[in-house]
Amino acid sequence: MPKLIIDNQEVEVDQGATLVQAAGQLGIDIPTMCCVQDVSPCTSCMVCVVRLVGRENLVPACATIAADGMQIDTCSDEVTAARRTNLELLLSDHVGDCIAPCQMADPNNANIPAIIRCIAAGDSAAATKLLRGDIANIDGAKPQRACRRARKDQPVAVDLLLKFAAAQANGESGGPKDETKRFSVHIGKLSETELERFMTGISPDQQVTPADPGAGYTPEEAAAEAKRCMHCDCRKADNCKLRDYAEAYQAKPAHFRSQRREFVQDLEHPDVIYEPGKCICCGLCVRITEQEGEEFALSFVGRGFGVQVAPSLDKNISQALQKAADRCVQTCPTGALAMRK
Ligand code: SF4
Ligand code: SF4
């Protein structure tokens, strides 16, 4: 069995183990995005690079087999800087918002789009649980001013919706105010075409006015107003490896940024949202749809910078993800594939 040194610690591994697995035996966590168990790595993200002493270039730990006598360095400044650069390259082509504009503007940092989805679904108890801060004095004025829908016609009445959720509290309190400032990327100004795309499936009606302004929204009025929300948030903001690693390695999203690509949301699938602008072309979903025997498996289409993941034979994402939707969403390292709910 090969014996090697990783960060000055000796480890003996099974024949055929990768450097990621060898480091794991020592409790050393090497970041990986395009490599998971049971799916062969395609070494596309290069965030797992390490220094193999004696080699000129850094090597991808996910695809390098441990050999007897190797000396590996996983945490020098050189390795950290290379990982940061590789993350910044991935972010240079990333288009999407981690956090919706309304949540960005909320002093309590509540997940306002999720609250609105609960109200639209008639689940006001779940909406109340997502409120943050002093819910007796909840104030949605700032989030409402930041609402993206204002560019189309009128903002979503966030203030009234939050007050509606707070009024359903029945003595329950929301979560504490959250002052954590997490890493976030933002689309910036939307083009007219992008704005129209955001409106797909959204109520085209004007803001709902409560019949009794003093009492606020009834459940029916609140649900109707909630259906005007464009849901600008990323559904995987709290489960995104790209965001987690970008934060950990202090990557700067604008470092290599040029002209951004168009923001596209594919809503053909009943349960899954596909946002190609968040795809890092890791190929995991491509290999999973093959493994699962999807008839119209996902594949890479296009060339060079235009390459993207799409269903084969001009089929749609709903036809491509008939059996493998859950596994693809769970495995996708970014918000490119996410569940709607
Ligand atoms: S449309 Fe909805 S998610 Fe987007 S900013 Fe307005 S309230 Fe927030
Ligand atoms: S959609 Fe997700 S899993 Fe598929 S290639 Fe893109 S980033 Fe990877």
Q: Model-level pTM?
A: 0.91
Ligand 1 centroid, distance to 221 Cα (angstroms): 17
pLDDT exceeds cutoff 90 at 275: yes
Contacting residues for 85 by C-beta, under 8 A, at least 6 apart = none
282 lines ligand 1 (CB under 6 A): no
The C-alpha atoms of residue 20 and residue 49 are separated, in whole angstroms, by 10
Ligand 1 atom nearest the C-alpha of 231 is 3
Token pair in block for residue 72: 């590996």
Same domain for 105 and 71: no
Same domain for 214 and 161: yes
161 lines ligand 1 (CB under 6 A): no
Ligand 2 atom nearest the C-alpha of 281 is 5
Same domain for 111 and 196: yes
pLDDT exceeds cutoff 90 at 38: no
Mean pLDDT, rounded, for 257-285: 91
Which band of pLDDT confidence, cut at 50, 70 and 90, is reported for residue 290? Answer: very high
Give the ligand whose atoms come closest to the C-alpha of residue 228. 1
Ligand 2: lining residues by beta carbon, under 6 Å: 279-285, 309, 332-334, 336-337
Closest residue CA from atom 6 of ligand 1? 147
| 103-125 tens-digit pLDDT | 999 999 999 999 999 999 999 99
CA distances from 239 to 90, 329, 338 (A): 17, 11, 10
The reported pLDDT for the residue numbered 205 is 97
Q: Report how many domains make up the chain.
A: 3
CATH code at 318?
Answer: 3.30.70.20
Cα torsion at 156, 160, 163, 164 (round to 10°)? -90
Closest residue CA from atom 8 of ligand 1? 102
Same domain for 106 and 71: no
In this structure, is residue 8 part of a structural domain? yes
The C-alpha atoms of residue 193 and residue 196 are separated, in whole angstroms, by 5
Ligand 2 atom nearest the C-alpha of 288 is 3
Mean pLDDT, rounded, for 200-215: 94
Same domain for 123 and 189: yes
Same domain for 105 and 62: no
Ligand 1 atom nearest the C-alpha of 103 is 8
The C-alpha atoms of residue 164 and residue 146 are separated, in whole angstroms, by 19
Closest residue CA from atom 7 of ligand 2? 279
Token pair in block for residue 242: 């790209």
Residue 9's domain comprises: 3-75
| 135-189 tens-digit pLDDT | 989 999 999 999 999 999 999 999 999 999 999 988 778 889 988 889 999 998 8
Give the ligand whose atoms come closest to the C-alpha of residue 202. 1
Last residue of a domain, one of 35, 58, 75: 75
